[in-house]
Amino acid sequence: MTRNLFYRAANIVQLSRFTLLAGSRLLCTQTQAEPPTVRQQNNGIRRIILNNPKKRNALSLSMLESLRSNILADIDSDNLRVIVISAKGPVFSSGHDLKELTSAQGRDYHTKVFQACSEVMTLIQDIPVPVIAMVNGVATAAGCQLVASCDIAVVTEKSTFATPGVNVGLFCSTPAVAIGRAVPKKVAMEMLFTGSPISAQDALRHGLVSKVVPEERLEEETLAIARRVCQASRPVVALGKATFHRQMAQGRDAAYATASRVMVDNLALRDGQEGIRAFIEKRKPVWTNKAEKANDE
């Protein structure tokens, strides 16, 4: 009888352990949801991957907030030189999550979504490092806006771009801000009024993207550009990027005045003088990658 009680107790303990293990696995499965975006960084190149292929990488509020957070993380670090934005699955991004835009969500929520989206798009242009879109698939509405907002876009031959909001009763007014500044006016208007997609080659022809490559070479070509960026001085690139976007919003004469002042500022940088000396001395420059003045030496 004592032996039977012992075996019964042992079985109860074993069953309890199994139940506890199974319960912890279930809890783990329930709580460990996939993050909306994934961030990786190596050798100065930060890769941010849109990570919700089941929902066509829709730019939901949580996706936008995650994207913003991953862009801003250690943004002033000397180790960060360039950002590459890509996506998991056959769709780069289908734009906003329309389930978040029903009247049930309310005007305040809708305002929050579009404010977050505008912040991310302007942030991409305002941060001190170049941002490259690596696109293999469909980019529509705010997804197309994301591509247009990036400094460089490398895409595959099967990629397409569209602003189809007009077809579901929501004109792509915010995507039009970025797209209208990237392509000729009449091309933008046709995209916005019809919602019809354009091919990768048409996107290249109109200036929406930088380069079209075979699918199997997308990563290689994109990272080659990123590595080339990493070879330049970070503060020089940062100054150049900020100035480019500023002068593009100005008239010709104001743009030249702005750019001329910045060229002088560039020459005052330690890395600016190092680059000129290295050229004269026929050697490779050694960058400090810090925004230090040459006369601080």
Domain positions in the chain: 37-230, 232-281
In single-letter form, the type of residue at position 286 comes to V
- Give the global pTM: 0.87
Give the number of other CB atoms < 10 A from CB of residue 279.
10
What's the pLDDT at 33?
81
What is the per-residue pLDDT for 295? Answer: 78
Residue-level pLDDT at 296 = 57
Do the Cβ atoms of 215 and 136 come closer than 8 Å?
A: yes
Tens digit of pLDDT at every position of the chain (297 positions)? 444 444 454 454 454 454 444 444 444 443 468 899 999 999 999 999 999 999 999 999 999 999 999 999 999 999 999 999 999 999 999 999 999 999 999 999 999 999 999 999 999 999 999 999 999 999 999 999 999 999 999 999 999 999 999 999 999 999 999 999 999 999 999 999 999 999 999 999 999 999 999 999 999 999 999 999 999 999 999 999 999 999 999 999 999 999 999 999 999 999 999 999 999 999 999 999 999 999 755
pLDDT at 32: 64
Among the listed residues 134, 127, 126, the one whose alpha carbon sits nearest the alpha carbon of residue 80: 127
270-280 helix and 234-248 helix, angle to the nearest 10 degrees: 110
Amino acid occupying residue 237: V
The whole-number pLDDT of residue 50 equals 98
Q: Does domain 37-230 have CATH number 3.90.226.10?
A: yes
Fold annotation for 232-281: Lyase 2-enoyl-coa Hydratase; Chain  A, domain 2 (1.10.12)
**Whole-number pLDDT of residue 187:** 98
